[in-house]
Structure 1
Amino acid sequence: MLLEGKNAIVSGGSQGIGTATSVEFAREGANVCILYRKHADEAKRLVKEIQEMGRKAIAVQCDIASFADAERVVKTTVEEFGGVDILVNNAGMNWDGVCWKMTEEQWDRVIEVNLKGYFNFVRQVAPIFKDQKYGKIINVTSINGLRGKFGQSNYSASKAGIVGYTKALAKELGGFGVNVNAVAPGLIETTMLRESDARDKIVDMAMNEIVLKRVGEAEDVANVITFLASDKSRHVTGEVIKVDGGQYI
């Protein structure tokens, strides 16, 4: 198994890409700390599923934008599992609006969650990874952080920031045996998409761009994250891997 004996933290673990990643990690032998903000029932069910696979799992409620919460989460993970080896920064949000109507609150909250939230957790695990001369950090960005999207200047800016942050971290931590990479999904079939009133319109627009002519599934992203979390990717760092069926091309 690719992740036998490893201990992972997955933010946004109770839904979508985070859930698929947590399950795949467990299949490959890892213990998983699942972070959630609102979806407690889903997180508890996921913990049970992972435990039934013979792995350790805990669910911790937190606001990733809180530095204190990040500190608490990492401390709890180390206490429960005996250490931490993998961090997946996945949780995020969008609050759309064109630039001439966007409020200060819209801008600040998206940047705070999507960008500062990632910093909060890296800041806690980096000293651990540095000391143990091993660690894997995988940041989930978006193809819209690479190309921008109308009505999402705050979201696109935050996701673009993650790209630069990933590359800087790779340079800072590489000498200590720590790999830092990012994945950039395109349109993925998640609960948020399925429940959107505009789902059909969103899918139709995306299908005009996606060369594989299929909407991605959370497992498609989870598989790449798992590769990056494993020693199969030991010579890969500072990369941004698009998981979009060719949507960006």
Structure 2
Amino acid sequence: MGRFDGKVAVITGGANGIGYEIAKLLLAQGAKQVYSLDITTGAELDGFKQLHVDITNRDEVRSAAEQMNAESGRIDILINNAGITKDRLMTKLEEADWEQVMKVNLSGAFHVTQAILPAMIEQNSGSIINISSVVGVYGNIGQSNYAATKAGLIGLTYTWAKEFTRKGAAIRTNAVAPGYVNTEMIQSVPEHILDDLKAKNPLKRLAEPIEIANAVAFLASDESSYVNGHVLSVDGGMRI
């Protein structure tokens, strides 16, 4: 028996990086179907369906939700993972860069969750995991827009954990707050800065995507059935 036998999962930004690693792990542990909502596509996997969806567009999101419900009949797991960065110091941050990061990282999670929630309410169960960041907890120079969205996801996590269970439904909402992860997003960071980040971390390295995926899988699984409204830091202890 697999950990996720018969389960249907939806991952935003599932085409690469952390999202793709989560998809692989859920499928390896028995998930019946994993959907990716993304504007790009990644490598194919058995049981992995990639839908071209702009999560900033509510109509596209609603159409995708209808399609997934019609095909699978249920949605057990939602992982709001999609995120972008447009880093600038506050004095140089353009409004367009502020708005784009807000739309993808925060409004996108709102759109997708609102579209998928009715299916979870109908089946009286579900696990929602928001991918936040250590930056959303502690802030970071040059990342006002990104930090605001990741802090916003934590606020949504706490709110949804209360709201979605208020009538007795077993719809849990939690968040994972990774530190710096060895993905394509961080490859644009100069090597000397990465070396400094590693040196300041107690474990002296970046996280690997599978390490974030393992944390997400725990919160998505029945093993965490009494965990609700929690933000799980996976940062190597960088803030202790």
Measure how far apart 1:201 and its partner are: 2.3
The 1-side partners of 2:190 and 2:228 are apart by: 35
The 2-side partners of 1:5 and 1:115 are apart by: 29
CA RMSD of aligned residues (A): 1.2
1:174-230 deviation per Cα after TM superposition (whole angstroms, max 9, x unaligned):
231111000000010012223x2x341232121133111121000000001011111
Question: Which residue type is aligned with residue 28 of structure 1?
Answer: Q
Q: 1:209 touches 1:248 (CA, 8 Å); kept in 2? A: no
Which residue, out of 185, 191, 199, partners 1:192? 185
1:74-113 deviation per Cα after TM superposition (whole angstroms, max 9, x unaligned):
1121122222111000001110111111111111111111
Which residue number corresponds to residue 20 of structure 2? 19
Which residue, out of 34, 37, 47, partners 1:35? 37
Which residue number corresponds to residue 104 of structure 1? 95
Which residue number corresponds to residue 223 of structure 1? 214
The 2-side partners of 1:193 and 1:158 are apart by: 18
Measure how far apart 1:67 and its partner are: 1.0
Which secondary structure does the structure 1 equivalent of 2:91 belong to? coil
Question: Which residue type is aligned with residue 219 of structure 1?
Answer: I
TM-score, normalisation: structure 2: 0.95
Structure 1: any 5+ residue segments left out of the alignment? none
The 2-side partners of 1:105 and 1:125 are apart by: 28
Which residue number corresponds to residue 134 of structure 2? 143
The 1-side partners of 2:151 and 2:71 are apart by: 34
1:22-58 deviation per Cα after TM superposition (whole angstroms, max 9, x unaligned):
00000111110112213x3x2xx23xx2x1xxxx321
- Identical pairs, percent: 37
The 1-side partners of 2:185 and 2:88 are apart by: 18
Whether 2:169 is the aligned partner of 1:176: answer: yes
Q: 2:161 touches 2:228 (CA, 8 Å); kept in 1? A: yes
Tell me: CA distance 1:82–1:57, structure 2 relative to 1, closer, same or farther (3 Å). Answer: farther
Which runs of 4 or more aligned residues in structure 1 lie more than 4 Å from their structure 2 counterparts after TM superposition? none
Question: Which residue type is aligned with residue 95 of structure 2?
Answer: E
Q: 1:188 touches 1:215 (CA, 8 Å); kept in 2? A: yes
The 1-side partners of 2:197 and 2:119 are apart by: 41
Whether 2:223 is the aligned partner of 1:232: answer: yes
